[in-house]
Amino acid sequence: MLRRRLLLVKQRTAQLLSLQSAISRYTGCRLASLRVKQLTPETIRSYFPDPSAQFSALQSHQLLHQFDKQIDAIETFVLSQCDATAYGVITSTPGIGKILGMTILLETGPIKRFDKVGHYSSYARCVPSTKVSNGKIKGRGNTKNGNRYLAMAFVEAAHYACIWDATIKKYYQRKCKKVPIMVAKKTIANKLTRACYHMLKTNSPFELKLSFG
C-alpha cells in the first residue's frame, strides 16, 4: 500500500507541476508550490480567460485534490495496520516521522528473519558491495541486492536527522570534511539502520549515545 502511495505522490506532483507551469505560461507569474495547492476553482478561472486553458487547468486542480484524498486514505489505513509498539519505537529515531516510520516497519517485516545486524544493513543497501582482498579491490557485488524502498527510507531519514538533531549534524559535518557528501550521508543512514535493528529486536526507543557517542 505504501508503494502504491509513492506512485500516487509522483502523479500528484506531476499535476502540481503541470498547473504551476500553465499559470506561469499564461500570466508570467511563478507561483510557489504551496500557493498552487491553496488555489480555488474561482482563482484558477481568473488566471485563464481562454475556455480551453481554463478547463485544462481545472482538470489538473481536481486531480490534484483527488490524489490528496487517496493518499490520506492510504496513510490512515496503513497506520491502522501497523503494530503500535513497533511503530512507536521506530518513530523515536531522529529523522523518522509518520511515513518513513511506516515504510521502514513494513518493508523490514519480521525483524527475526535477520540473524545479524549486518544482514539487515546489507538488506537496506547501507553497506558497500566491494570485494577486498589484502587491501585491494578485487571486484564488486550486485549493488541492486536488498530492498530499494528501505534504502531510500533510511537515506531520507539520515537527511532529516542531519537537519534536526544537533549531535548528528555535527557528526555529519565532520564526516563531510573527510569523505564526499553522499558517503557521509550513507554513513548516517547505516548508523540509523543498525540502531533500528537493535530497537526492533529489544522494543526499546532510540538512544543517541549508543549510535553517535
Could you read off the pLDDT tens digit of each residue along the chain, which spans 213 residues?
A: 999 999 999 999 999 999 999 999 998 888 999 999 999 999 999 999 899 999 999 999 999 999 999 999 999 999 999 999 999 999 999 999 999 999 999 999 999 999 999 999 999 998 876 655 666 665 565 667 789 999 999 999 999 999 999 999 999 999 999 999 999 999 999 999 999 999 999 999 999 998 887
Shared domain check, 88 and 75: no
| Residues 71/8, Cβ–Cβ less than 8 Å | yes
Shared domain check, 63 and 116: no
Q: Of 24, 55, 81, which residue constitutes the final position of a domain?
A: 81
Closest alpha carbon to 154 in 116, 181, 127, 114: 127
Per the listing, cell 573527510 goes with 178
pLDDT score for 164: 93
Secondary structure of the chain as H, E, C letters = CHHHHHHHHHHHHHHHHHHHHHHHHHHCCCCCHHHHHCCCHHHHHHHCCCHHHHHHHHHHHHHHHHHHHHHHHHHHHHHHHCCHHHHHHHCCCCCCCHHHHHHHHHHHCCHHHCCCHHHHHHHCCCCCCEEEECCEEEEECCCCCCCHHHHHHHHHHHHHHHHHCHHHHHHHHHHHCCCCHHHHHHHHHHHHHHHHHHHHHHCCCCCHHHHHC
> CA-CA distance, 157 to 42, in Å (whole number)?
39
pLDDT score for 192: 96
Question: C-alpha cell of 207?
Answer: 538512544
> CA-CA distance, 206 to 196, in Å (whole number)?
8
Shared domain check, 16 and 72: yes
Q: Positive or negative CA dihedral for 185, 188, 190, 196?
A: negative
The domain tally of the chain equals 2
Domain range for residue 161? Answer: 84-212
pLDDT score for 49: 87
Shared domain check, 101 and 35: no
Shared domain check, 101 and 76: no
pLDDT score for 141: 59
Shared domain check, 98 and 77: no
Let me know the angle formed at the C-alpha of 2 by 181 and 70, rounded to the nearest 5 degrees.
120
| Residues 26/60, Cβ–Cβ less than 8 Å | no
Shared domain check, 184 and 90: yes
Shared domain check, 91 and 76: no
Shared domain check, 98 and 55: no
> CA-CA distance, 202 to 31, in Å (whole number)?
48
Q: Of 81, 103, 119, which residue constitutes the final position of a domain?
A: 81
Shared domain check, 142 and 102: yes
Shared domain check, 35 and 94: no
Shared domain check, 174 and 116: yes
Q: Of 81, 106, 133, which residue constitutes the final position of a domain?
A: 81
Question: C-alpha cell of 34?
Answer: 504551496
